[in-house]
Every structure is written in C-alpha cells, then in structure tokens.
Amino acid sequence: MAATTRLGENVTHVSERTGKTVPGQSTPERQPWQAGGNGRRKRTVTYADAGVSIHAGEQAVELLKTKVRRTLRPEVVGGIGGFAGLFRLDVAKYRNPILASSTDGVGTKLAIAQAMNIHDTVGIDLVAMVVDDLVACGAEPLFLLDYIACGEVVPDRICDIGAGIADGCRYAGCALLGGETAEHPGVMRPDEYDIAATGVGVVEEDDVLGQEKVEVGDVVIAMRSSGLHSNGYSLVRHVLLGAGRMRLDTVVDDFGSQRTLGEELLTPTKIYAKECLDLLKECEVHAYAHVTGGGVPGNLVRVLPEHVDAVVDRSTWRPQPIFDLVRTKGRIDDPEMESTFNMGIGMLTVVTPDDADRTLAFLAGRNIDAWQVGEVIEGTGTVQMVGSHTRG
C-alpha cells in the first residue's frame, strides 16, 4: 500500500512461432496466440483485461507519498519505493534489546466504512490494534508494514485508507516503513477491501512488562475508550443493522450533537502508545492490558500471575451509550457484553499503590480520562467483576 506497492508482475504474453521471417532477421517473428486456425490475429491479452490496473496502484502510491514521509523516523534508511523497508536499529542505545512484533486487522468494522463510503478512519483503527499490543509488553513501536487487498484499486480510496494508517503511525510515533496493495478481481467485489498490518517494536529485556511484575496490593487503573474501538462488529451489525433494522444515517439522540449511528460506529480507536511509554518513565508500571476482543476480563487475566486475582468494580464507570444501545437492541446479557466489548475501557495499567495518584495525575495531564477501577489481591489468576454499571 504505502511505501512499497507491488501489484504483481506484468502478464507474459503467450505466443507461438510462425514460419514468417522478418526481413533482416534470421529468426521467425513471434506472434500473439491465436484461437483456432483461421489466421485472424487476436489482440494481445493484458493484465488490465484480467481486472488489475498497475497504473492505478502506482497513482495511489504517488498520492500517499507525502503522508508516508510525515511518519518517518531518523532510523529509516532510504526512500519510498524499494523492495523492502530498511530501519537502522541503534543497538548502542540498549543493553539487551528485545524485538517485539504484533499483527492484526480491523475486522468487520470495514463493512461499515464501505457502506458509508468513508475510508480515512479505519487506518487509525488498524494502527491502534497493532501498536497498543506492542506497548502492552513495554515495547516502543518502531515501524509498521501494512497490507491492503481489494477488488479494484481506486486511487483516491486507497489514498484515504493509507492516509488513516499514516495518521495512526504519527499518533503512535512509529514509521510507516512499507506495505503492499493487492488487487483481487473476481475474488472480491470492486468496492470491497480488507486491511492488515504488522508492527515491530523494541524493549529492554529488564523492562518487559507482564505477569512476573504484578503483585498483591497493586492498583488497576482504567483508561477510557473512544467507543467500540474495533471489536465485536459482527455482533453489532447483526443486532443493530440486521435484527434491529437500524440505518447508518439514523440520528441517535443519546450520542449527542445530531450524531448518526454510522458516525458512532466509525469512531476511530484510541491510540495510547505515546502516553503509555511516557508513563513508564514517570511511574512504576507493572503491566498494561490492551482491551480488545475478550473485553476487560479476557485481557486483564493475561497479565495476572497464578497466585493473584484482579478485582474490577463496575460501579466506578459508566460505559458510553453505544454499549447500552447494543445491549438493549440485541437483548444481550451482561456476561456476553463483557466478553465481547471493551465496555468503555481501552487500556488498563497495573501500578504500585504508591504511584496510583501520580499515574492518574499524569494521564489527566495528557487528556486521557482515567480512574482507579480495581486492585490486585491474593487469588488464583482470575478477574473478579463486581458491582454494577450506572445506567440511565
């Protein structure tokens, strides 16, 4: 997609030798393949005849170059358009560096973007899914590679998708190092596409976050999500657009400011990478849990050692109205909601009790809505969800 686009090699024209010799040449002229033996010459088959436009792909890359350049870091080597992206890792900067990698996509949220013909936000979702997984282990995202598969390369649409990816990379502080756009006519509809990305980060071995550092008495702090983020959209589409028969252009009063359902569903995923990395320098952070599929309990449990539990108090926050709309329209019970959606929390951090207030003050200074949501107690490695959300 972005820095490097390889749509495939040019089609080799199938041909056969004839007995005709071109004057001045000792070898017969190659003629394009002909169907039948009637001697009629057929037009040479091109890649465009199969539905692939190399020119459109090249045009999309040109449109994106300025956006991509804005994401570059000093470690990036070379320009845009090579066969591989090059990144000079400053090994002298680290004692025992460990590389971290993560791959993800956006899922069926793309169906909403395609239905609304709005394509410049899902790239932010893509970057968020990747870089905040890297940050969860304490790694600084260094660079990202993207992949776009589509039924037809429409340069402006590809540019919009890529612009969102570039914006996300800037928010996360990582370079958009390269990518691929593949045109799949006959496999995908002309207006259909899917996107994925892989990110690479680095962390000092001694600074890796996770289970080994979480202790009894630690405090769990939540950071508010921007909404649904990029998980659970198959269920959302089923209950709201399918069984619920709602339209994407329906204005929902609870969303405020004449906001439509489609606009709410396309709200970009919050990227926490820079704030989380900076927090590591200010406070003693033992773990981060990126809240994606599986919700709060399914992701917080991944950073708990076997001898502790995390107690999360629902009464400390109120999920955004979109969650209540999904729950009521679909008549979905609370356990199913909590195991599918983030319920208003995009990132969790586990810190020492002495640093709890400092953490909250730091996040508030970065305009992140955060609050103490729970604590770590003795247990068996589970998450206990207690209390009830305020509704109404």
CB 228 within 8 A of CB 342: yes
Give the pLDDT of residue 41: 54
Residue 235, sorted as left (phi over 0), alpha (psi -120 to 50) or beta, turns out to be: alpha
Give the pLDDT of residue 46: 63
What is the Cα–Cα distance from 242 to 230, expressed in whole angstroms? 19
Decide: residue 201, CB within 10 A, 0-12 exposed, 13-18 middle, 19+ buried.
buried
Give the pLDDT of residue 72: 86
Give the pLDDT of residue 219: 98
User: What is the domain partition of the chain in residue ranges?
Assistant: 54-207, 211-386
Class of domain 54-207: alpha beta
What is the Cα–Cα distance from 215 to 172, expressed in whole angstroms? 29
End-to-end CA distance of the chain: 45
CB 199 within 8 A of CB 333: no
What is the Cα–Cα distance from 32 to 17, expressed in whole angstroms? 9
What is the Cα–Cα distance from 273 to 372, expressed in whole angstroms? 20
pTM, two decimal places: 0.85
pLDDT tens profile 341-353: 999 999 999 999 9
What is the Cα–Cα distance from 218 to 310, expressed in whole angstroms? 9
β-bridge pairing 285-290 and 175-183: unpaired
Q: Provide the residue type at 316 as one letter.
A: T
Pick out the chain residues at pLDDT < 70: 1-43, 45-54, 57, 80-81, 392
pLDDT tens profile 300-335: 999 999 999 999 999 999 999 999 999 999 999 999
Give the pLDDT of residue 30: 39
Give the pLDDT of residue 337: 97
What is the Cα–Cα distance from 126 to 222, expressed in whole angstroms? 22
What is the Cα–Cα distance from 378 to 127, expressed in whole angstroms? 36
CB 181 within 8 A of CB 148: yes
Decide: residue 197, CB within 10 A, 0-12 exposed, 13-18 middle, 19+ buried.
buried
Class of domain 211-386: alpha beta
Percent of the chain with pLDDT over 70: 84
Q: Do domains 54-207 and 211-386 have the same CATH topology?
A: no
